[in-house]
Amino acid sequence: MSVMSDPSADSPKPEMESKHDQLRCRTCGAELPADTPGPFCSPRCRMADLGKWFSGDYSISRNIEERDLDED
Ligand SMILES: [Zn+2]
């Protein structure tokens, strides 16, 4: 069984606005292969992103309405 490579695969694709198809690692910004399961290029980057969560980088500052708690 001989599999020949498709010569058309070497032809450059026309530049299209398909940035949504190109996933990038949320931690280091590296381009992710199409078969990468997740927004990170490696488990290390995934853990680094989790670290951001725990350190509070992603914490959303919201105003707490104290009057709701101090209902008299
Ligand atoms: Zn990464």
pLDDT in tens, 24-67: 999 999 999 888 888 899 999 999 988 877 777 656 566 656 66
Distance 57 CA to ligand 1 centre (A): 17
Helix (H) or strand (E) segment spanning residue 45: helix 43-55
- Surrounding ion ligand 1 within 5 Å at CB are 25, 27-28, 30, 41, 45
What is the pLDDT at residue 7? 64
Distance 17 CA to ligand 1 centre (A): 23
Distance 31 CA to ligand 1 centre (A): 8
Distance 27 CA to ligand 1 centre (A): 5
For the chain, what is the total number of helices (H) and then of strands (E)? 2, 0
